[in-house]
């Protein structure tokens, strides 16, 4: 059983020690940085793949090309947002 000081006057406030571990904060921030880098790389990879499809696939209809262009625009916005973050 997890003990979090439930016998004290305000047990809800004492539960925060279970969730906010100061030692894990640096590890968590490292993981978040890795996730952001992966997100940037994934968005760029998708942009390149969509561009290849648009250039190489001559059999696409106009409607299909438009769908690819819209998805390319979406991933470009995501990529630019990620790159402009401080």
At 9 the pLDDT is: 57
For residues 72 and 44, the answer to whether their CB atoms sit within 8 Å is no
Mean pLDDT over 47-61 rounds to 93
Which of 7-11, 59-63, 69-73 has the weakest average pLDDT? 7-11
Q: Round to whole Å and give the CA distance between 72 and 54.
A: 10
Q: Which of 15-19, 25-29, 77-81 has the lowest mean pLDDT?
A: 15-19
Mean pLDDT over each residue of the chain, to the nearest integer: 78
Q: What is the pLDDT of residue 71?
A: 92
pTM for this model (two decimals)? 0.58
């Amino acid at each position: 059983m997890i003990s979090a000081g439930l016998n004290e006057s305000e047990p809800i406030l004492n539960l925060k020690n279970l969730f906010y571990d100061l030692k894990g904060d640096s590890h968590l921030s490292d993981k978040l940085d890795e996730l952001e880098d992966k997100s940037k790389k994934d968005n760029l990879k998708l942009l390149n793949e969509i561009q290849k499809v648009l250039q190489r696939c001559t059999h696409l209809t106009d409607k299909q090309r438009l769908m690819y262009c819209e998805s390319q625009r979406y991933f470009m916005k995501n990529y630019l947002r990620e790159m402009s973050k401080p």
